[in-house]
Structure 1
Amino acid sequence: MCSSSRFLQRNPSPILFLERRWRKMYLWFSTLEKGQKNKILKICEAFGANRYPFAEDLGKQALMITEVSGRISELKTTIDAGLLQRDNLLRTIGDQFEQWNLKVKTEKSIYHTLNMLSLDVTKKCLVAEGWSPVFATKQIQEALQRAAFDSNSQVGAIFQVLHTRESPPTYFRTNKFTSAFQEIVDAYGVAKYQEANPGVYTIVTFPFLFAVMFGDWGHGICLLLATLYFIVREKKLSSQKLGDITEMTFGGRYVIMMMSLFSIYTGLVYNEFFSVPFELFGRSAYACRDLSCRDATTVGLIKVRDTYPFGVDPAWHGSRSELPFLNSLKMKMSILLGVAQMNLGIILSYFNAIFFRNSLNVWFQFIPQMIFLNSLFGYLSFLIIVKWCTGSQADLYHILIYMFLSPTDELGENQLFPGQKITQQVLLLLALVSVPWMLLPKPFLLKRQHENRHQGQSYAPLESTDETLLSVANNDSHGHDHEEFEFSEVFVHQLIHTIEFVLGAVSNTASYLRLWALSLAHSELSVVFYEKVLLLAWGYNNIIILIVGIIVFIFATVGVLLIMETLSAFLHALRLHWVEFQNKFYEGDGYKFYPFSFALLDDEDD
C-alpha cells in the first residue's frame, strides 16, 4: 500500500509512464538475438521472476494497456477505501479505548480471582478463603445474597468466619485528609496486625516539627495559598493526569496545609515575617537607652514594660544579642521536643507490650529504657526548664558532662536547686543499672520459658514473644515438633538491641538539634535575601535596579526558601519520625490489606 501510493504520487500519469516503459523494454528485447533471449529467460526462471506476455500487435498492446490501467484504477480505489476505513476504525477505537481497556481489566481481575478459588470435594461449588474487615461482615453477606439472587443461583452463598493463627493483614480506615499521613508511616513499614499506629500522632507531630525548622509566618502564608489552590480544585485535578512532581504535591496537599498552618504559628512565636519582626501582640518590652543602640551594633536596650505577651520580643531582631539569644532558645527547645517525642515512643512500646501480653517487654524493655533516657536527658530537660524559670546563669552542659566525669565534685555556681548533687548521683546510678537490666534477664527468662514448655510443666506461656528471640515452631496439631532454643543467638540479639538503644539515646537526642540548625539557617537565609537583595536595591533610588532587586528577591524566596527549604525540612522531619521516634516501639513488619475492588483497576498496571 505504501509503495503503491508513493508510486502514484511521483507519477501523476502512471498509465502513460508504464506504456513508455513497456515499449522501451519490448524494443530492447526485440533487438536481442535468440540465444541472448534464451539466456535472459533462463536467468528469470532461476531467480523466480514473473514473466508477462506482451503481444507484438499494436492493437493487442493497446488492449493490454487498457486492461492494466483499469486494474490500477481499481487498486487505487480499493486503497483509498481501505485508508478511509482504517481512519474511521481507529477514530472509533480511540473514543472507546478507555472503556474497552477497563472492561478487559475487569474481566482479567475476575478470572484471576476465580482461579485462586478451590473446588469442593463434591466439585459442585467453589470455596474461597480471604481476609475481610470485621465491620464489613454484614456488607459482604448482603453482597453475596444479592449476587446469588441476581444470577438465579440454585445454591446460595455461605459465609463463615474461620479461626486461624496466621497473622492477618493490616487495614486502617483513612480519608482524604489522613491518607497522606498514613502513607508517610507505611513508607517506613506497614504495622503488624493491631500494633500501635504512629500515623495518629504523625498528623500533629510531623507538621509541627517541620514548622519548628520552617518558622516564618510570611512563608507559611505563601505555602498555605499554594495548598488552597489544590484543595479548592481537588475535584477537577483528581480526574486529570498530572506530572510526577505535581501528582506527589497534590496527593500531599493536606499534609502541606497542616505544615503551613503550623509554620504560621511558629513564625508568630519567632516573630518573623520574611525575616522582618512586627509588634503584633503589643509594644516591645525594651527601649533604647540612647541613640547608639539604633545602629544595632551595641547592646543599649533596657526593659521598660512587661514581658512581650506572645513570642519573641521584636527588639531582639537586629541587635547584637539576637544570634546568641536565638541560639540558646532554639537549641534548648529542640532538646525538650526531642526528649518528649522519644518518651512518647517508649510509652507506646508499653501499650504494645500490654496489648500483646508480653510481660517481658514491660519489665525488661520499657522500664529500663524509661529510666535510662530520663536519668540523663530527661534530667537535662528538667534543668533547662528550671533555668528558664529561675533565670540562673548555670552552664547546663558543664553540669551534664561532669555528672559523668566527676559526680562527687561540688557544683558551685552551677547548682540550680537544693540536693542537686545527690540527685545527680542517684540518676547516674540508675542509668548504669538500667543497662544490664535491659541486657541480661530477658534471654535467660526466654530460655526458661522454652524449657518449661518442652517439659510439659504447668506454665502459662507467653502469648506473644519476639520471634527473633524465641525460635519455637508454632504448630498446634504437632505440639511435639519444636526447634532448639539458640541461646547464643538470643543473647547476641539482645546485646545488639541494648547497645543500639544506649547509643541511640545519645545520638537521637543530638539528632533533634537539626531543629535548631535548620531553623537558624532558614532565618539567616531570609535575612540575607531581605537585606542584601531587597533593601540594597531599594537604597539605589533607581527604578530599574529596584525592579530587578524585587524580581531576584521573589525568585530567591520562592526557589530557595519555599521549595528547597520546604523539601529539606520535610525530609528532616521524616527522618526524625522514622528513626528517632518510630524505632522506640514500631516494628513495621506487617503486610497491607488490599481488597478486591474494581475502583482500583484504573491505578493498577497489567
Structure 2
Amino acid sequence: MKKKTKSYAHIDWSLKLKTKQKANTREIDLDVLSRDGKLTELTGRESMGDVRGGCCPPMDLFRSEPMQLVQLIIPMESAHFTVSYLGDLGLLQFKDLNSEKSPFQRTYAAQIKKCGEMARKLRFFKEQMLKAGFSPSTKSVAQNDIDVDDLEVKLGELEVELIEMNANGEKLQRSYNELVEYKLVLQKAGEFFASAQHSATAQQREMESRQMGGESIETPLLQDQEASTDLSKQVKLGFITGLVPREKSMAFERILFRATRGNVFLKQVPVEEPITDPVSGEKMEKNVFWVFYSGERAKNKILKICEAFGANRYPFAEDLGKQALMIIEVSGRISELKTTLDAGLLHRDNLLQTIGDQFEQWNLKVKKEKSIYHTLNMLSLDVTKKCLVAEGWSPVFATKQIQEALQRAAFDSNSQVGAIFQVLHTRESPPTYFRTNKFTSAFQEIVDAYGVAKYQEANPGVYTIVTFPFLFAVMFGDWGHGICLLLATLFFIVREKKLSSQKLGDITEMTFGGRYVILMMSLFSIYTGLVYNEFFSVPFELFGYSAYACRDLSCRDASTVGLIKVGDTYPFGVDPAWHGTRSELPFLNSLKMKMSILLGVAQMNLGIILNYFNATFFGISLNIWFQFIPQMIFLNSLFGYLSLLIIVKWCTGSQADLYHIMIYMFLSPTDELGENQLFPGQKTVQSCSLRVVSCVL
C-alpha cells in the first residue's frame, strides 16, 4: 500500500501555550516560529472524527483526540486578526496550500522580509547589551499593543543612534589609548635623553679641564687633530621613538640590525603594566623604544619595519622645555577625553537599559508578526482577491473555540463579513494530538522522544507516569536521597508561578520543566529506599527488630558466620542485618536482578496488551491472531515461566539454581530436575512450554 505525503505547517507564538500535535512518525511542536512538517496519509481507512471499532470503550484519556479537517474563508481585512487569535488559541494546524510557490513568490514575502530586518536589529541590540554586561529584563511591562510600523521606525532610530554612539566611542577610545602611549613615550624617552645630555655635559667639562691643565701621560695623542676637525663634516643622527609589543621586541631588534647592517643604535625600556593597544583594543605588554640612525635610506627601512611589527611611532622633541610642555598638554587632553568617554558610556548604558526593559516585548511582537505572515503565506488567495482560503486540522472539541475566535477577529477588525467555518470530509490521516497539562506534559515528551503514536492509537504516556519514575527508583533506591530530591522538587513546585515567568538557565529550565517527573521519582525512590532499607546507605530498624542475632560474642567480627535466626521475618523490606555482611553484595545483586526481570516482563506484557487493544479498536483481526497471540505465547512461555520460578523460589526458600533450570530446559528437557525442582509437575510444564514455543516459531 503506497503512502502519500503532504506538507503542513503550524504556528504558536504564545510562550504559555505549547500544544503538541504529532504526525504518524514524529511530533510536530507548535513553537514560537512556524516550521513545515510532514504527515503521512494512510489510504483505505476512514480517519475523520471518531474512529471507533470493536467493543472497546472510548478510552478518551488513553487515546489521541479525534481530529477534523476544516476550511476557513477569511476576508482580507480580518485575516491578520484571525490568524493571530487562532495562533493564541493553538488548536489549529494549517495546511500549506501554496506549496508549489517559492517563498519569494508568496503574497506576504515583503512583510516577512520586514520582520526579518527587525529581528536582525533586535539581535544587534542583544549583542550590544551582552557586551555591556546587561541582560534583557524578564519583567512584564504593562503597555498597549505596539503597532508594527511604529516599532519598525523606532528600532531603526535606535539602531542608528547606537551605531553612531559606538563609532564615536571607538574613535574617542582610540585617541585616548594613543595619548596614553604618547605620554609613556615622552616620560621614558625624556628620562633617557636627560640622562644622555647630563653624561655628555660631564664629558665635555672633563675634556675642557684636561686642555686647561696641559699635556700629561693620559692625554690622547690625536687630541689636537680631533679638536681641529671641521664641524661641518660631523654626521647628525636622527631618531624614531614609539612602542612595540614585548613579545615581538627581540625579533624587532634582530631585523633592524640585519636590515641596516648594524648601523643603528636601539634602546628599549619595558612598560611596567599592560596597556591597551589603540589599533586592536586589546591589553598587551609593550616596550618603549628609540632608534638612532644616519641617512634617509636607513630611516625608510626603519619605518617599514615598524609598520610590519605593529610598532606605534610618536614624535619627540630633543629640547627639555618642549618635552615638559608636551607632557602637560598630553595629560590635559587625556583628562578631557576620560571625562568625555565616561559621559558617553553613561549615555550608552542608559540607552541600552531602556532597550533592555522592552526587549522581550519587542522580540515577542516581531516573532508573532513573522509567524502570522508566514501562516498567511500558506493560505490560498481567492480569485476575487478579496478573501483567503485556509485549510487545517483541529480537534473536534475545539470547534466552538475556533468559531468564537473567528467572530472576535471579525469584530476587532471592523469587517463587514465574518469568516466562514466548515468541516471537510477526507480520507487523509490526521495528525496525532494529545491533550496534556503541566503534570502530564513532561511524561508525554519522554514518550514522544522514542516515537509518536499513530492517530487514535493507545497512548503509552499515561502508563509512563508510573513506570518511568518507578524504574528510576529501582536503580536509585535510597529514602534519604529521595527526601533530598523531594525537597528540591517541592521548591520548584511551590514557586512555579513565579519561576515560569522568569528566564532560567538551560539546566535550571530543563529541571523546572520536568519538576513533576522528578517529584514522582523522589516519591518512588523513598518507597524503594524503604524496601532496600537504605538511608544514605545506612540501615535502620524502622519496622521492627532484625530477625537475626549472633550465636555468641565471637560472631560480631565474623559477619554472617555465627548469625542465627531468632525472631520473625523482618516485616517490610530488607532485614538490616544484611548490610555490612560478606554476602550483602551477592544477595542484593541477586534481589535487584530478579526484580528487574519481573518488572521487565511485566512491562513487555503491558506493551503487547496495548497492541491488542489497538487491534481491537481499529478492527484489525489479523494483528490479534498473528501478532498478539504469538507474542504473548512466546514471551510468557519463556520469560513468564522464569518469572514464575523466581516468585516460587522466593516463597519457598528453595536453593534451586535458576540458571541451571533455564539452560537445561533447552539442552536436556527429558532429564530429571533433582534438587532444582521447585514444584510438582515442573518437568511437564517445561516440556509443554517448549512445544508451544516450537509451534509458534
Which bracket does the TM-score occupy, shorter chain normalised? 0.5 to 0.7
Q: What are the within-5 Å matches in structure 2 for residues 524-535 of structure 1? A: none
Q: Aligned partners of 1:273 and 1:384: how far apart in 2?
A: 27
Richer in helix (by share): 1
Give the structure 2 partner of residue 162 of structure 1: 424
Q: Which amino acid aligns with 2:405?
A: A
The structure showing larger relative contact order (alpha-carbon pairs under 8 Å, at least 6 residues apart) is 2
Given the alignment, which residue of 374, 384, 390 partners 1:128?
Answer: 390
> Letter of the aligned partner of 2:627 in structure 1?
Q
Relative to structure 1, is the Cα distance of residues 5 and 154 closer, same or farther in structure 2, using a 3 angstrom cutoff? same
Q: Give 1:420's aligned amino acid.
A: Q
Partner of 2:511: 249
The one-letter code of the counterpart of 2:468 is F
> Match of 1:392?
654
What whole-Å deviation, never above 9, does each CA across 1:193-215 have from its counterpart, x for those lacking one? 11221111111111111111111
1:147 aligned to which of 406, 409, 423: 409
How does 1:230-241 map onto structure 2 within 5 Å?
230-241=492-503
Alignment of 1:301-340 (within 5 A): 301-340=563-602
1 CA distance for matches of 2:176 and 2:680? 107
Distance 1:213 1:336 in 2: 14
Aligned to 2:117: none
* Structure 1 residues 204-245: Cα deviation after superposition (integer angstroms, max 9, x where no partner): 111111111111111111211222222222223222222222
Q: Aligned-pair distance for 1:293? A: 2.2
* Letter aligned with residue 465 of structure 2: I
Q: Determine which of 266, 283, 290 is the counterpart of 2:552.
A: 290
Alpha-carbon distance between aligned partners in 2 of 1:322 and 1:279, rounded to the nearest angstrom: 17
The whole-number CA distance in structure 1 between the counterparts of 2:177 and 2:604 is: 79
Q: 1:414 aligns with which of 659, 664, 676?
A: 676
Partner of 2:612: 350
Query: Partner letter of residue 436 of structure 2?
Result: T
Q: Shift in Å at residue 97 of structure 1? A: 2.9
Specify the alignment match of 1:359 in structure 2.
621
Q: CA–CA distance in 1 between the matches of 2:613 and 2:463?
A: 15
Q: Deviation of residue 192 (structure 1)?
A: 1.9
- For the 8 Å contact 1:292–1:298, the answer to whether it is kept is no
Partner of 1:327, secondary structure, is helix
Deviations 1:114-139 (A, max 9, x none): 11111234443221101111111111
Letter in 2 for 1:246: T
* 1:102 aligned partner, one-letter code: L
Deviations 1:488-516 (A, max 9, x none): xxxxxxxxxxxxxxxxxxxxxxxxxxxxx
**2:470 aligned to 180, 203, 208, which one?**
208
Mapped to 1, the partners of 2:392 and 2:679 lie a distance apart of 63
Partner Cα separation in structure 2 for residue 83 and residue 400 of structure 1: 79
Q: Give secondary structure in 2 for the equivalent of 1:266.
A: helix
Letter in 1 for 2:371: S
* Distance in 2, Cα, partners of 1:346 & 1:144: 44
**1:227 counterpart (478, 489, 495):** 489
Q: Give the SS at the match of 2:436.
A: coil
Deviations 1:331-360 (A, max 9, x none): 222211111111111111111222222221
**Structure 1 residue 418 displacement after superposition:** 2.1
Instruction: Give the structure 2 partner of residue 197 of structure 1.
Output: 459
Question: Where does structure 1 lack aligned partners over 5 or more consecutive residues?
Answer: 12-77, 436-606
> What aligned pairs does 1:32-71 form with structure 2 within 5 A after superposition?
none
SS in 2 for 1:165: coil
Aligned equivalents of 1:125, 1:425: Cα separation in 2: 74
SS at structure 2 position matched to 1:129: strand
Q: CA separation of 1:141/1:3 partners in 2, compared to 1, >3 Å: closer, same or farther?
A: closer
1:131-180, Cα deviation, whole Å (9 max, x unpaired): 11111111111111122223232222211111222221122111111111
The number of residue pairs the alignment matches comes to 370
CA deviations on 1:287-307 (whole Å, 9 max, x unpaired) are 221112222434222222221
Secondary structure of 1:127's aligned partner: strand
Asked if 2 retains the 8 angstrom alpha-carbon contact of 1:180 and 1:255, the reply is: yes
Question: Whole-Å Cα distance in 2 between the matches of residues 234 and 194 of structure 1?
Answer: 32
TM-score (norm. length: structure 2): 0.50
Moved more, 290-299 or 201-210: 290-299
Query: SS of the counterpart of 1:128?
Result: strand
Paired residue secondary structure (1:187): helix
| CA gap 1:9/1:374 in 2 versus in 1, 3 angstroms | closer
1:565 — aligned with what?
none
Question: Does the CA contact (< 8 Å) of 1:299 and 1:319 recur in 2?
Answer: no
Q: Which of the numbers 252, 273, 280 marks the counterpart of 2:535?
A: 273
2:644 aligned with 1:376, yes or no? no
The verdict on how the C-alpha distance between 1:399 and 1:81 changes in structure 2, with shifts beyond 3 A counting, is closer
| Bigger Cα Rg | 2
Q: What secondary structure is seen at the aligned counterpart in 1 of 2:421? A: coil
Match of 2:368 among 67, 89, 106: 106
Deviation at 1:377, TM superposition (A): 0.8
SS of the residue corresponding to residue 420 of structure 2 reads: coil
Which has the higher mean CA deviation after the structures are superposed, 420-429 or 351-360? 351-360
Offset from partner CA, 1:36-94 (integer Å, 9 cap, x none): xxxxxxxxxxxxxxxxxxxxxxxxxxxxxxxxxxxxxxxxxx99999998776555434
For residues 81 and 268 of structure 1, what CA distance do their matches in structure 2 show?
Answer: 65
**Superposed CA offset, 1:416-452 (max 9, x none):** 22222121111101111112xxxxxxxxxxxxxxxxx
Match of 2:186 in 1: none
Deviation sequence 1:6-41 (CA, Å, 0-9, x none): 669989xxxxxxxxxxxxxxxxxxxxxxxxxxxxxx
Change (3 A) 1:119 1:299: same
- Separation in structure 1 between the aligned mates of residue 637 and residue 478 of structure 2, nearest angstrom: 35
Letter in 1 for 2:641: Y
Give the one of 497, 502, 520 matched to 1:258.
520
Assess if the C-alpha contact under 8 Å between 1:296 and 1:318 holds in 2.
no
Q: SS at 1:132's partner residue? A: strand
How many Å separate the matches in 1 of 2:371 and 2:582?
69
What amino acid does structure 1 have at the position aligned with 2:451? G
Question: Going by fraction, where is strand more abundant, 1 or 2?
Answer: 2
The one-letter code sitting in structure 2 at the alignment partner of 1:400 is M
Quote the Cα distance in structure 1 between the aligned partners of 2:501 and 2:555: 59
Q: 1:155 to 1:290 in 2, by over 3 A?
A: same
Q: For 2:665 and 2:580, how far apart are their aligned partners in 1?
A: 37
Indicate how the Cα distance of structure 1 residues 139 and 411 shifts in structure 2: closer, same or farther if over 3 A, else same: same
> Superposition pairs for residues 393-472 of structure 1, below 5 Å?
393-435=655-697
Per the TM alignment, residue 247 of structure 1 is displaced from its structure 2 partner at its CA by 1.8
Could you give the per-residue CA deviations for residues 431-482 of structure 1, whole angstroms, max 9, x where no partner exists? 11112xxxxxxxxxxxxxxxxxxxxxxxxxxxxxxxxxxxxxxxxxxxxxxx
Which residue of structure 2 lines up, in the alignment, with residue 573 of structure 1? none
Match of 1:457 in 2: none
Give the root-mean-square deviation of aligned CA atoms: 2.7
Q: CA deviation at 1:378?
A: 0.5
Q: Larger deviation: 79-88 or 151-160?
A: 79-88
> Which one of 445, 463, 474 corresponds to residue 183 of structure 1?
445
Structure 2 SS opposite 1:272: coil
* Higher mean C-alpha deviation, range 336-345 or range 158-167: 158-167
Structure 1 pair 4–224 and aligned structure 2 pair: CA distance change class (3 A): closer
**Counterparts of 1:370 and 1:138, CA distance in 2:** 44
* Identical amino acids, percent of aligned pairs: 89
Residue identity matched to 1:354? T
CA distance in structure 2 between the partners assigned to 1:318 and 1:85 by the alignment: 69
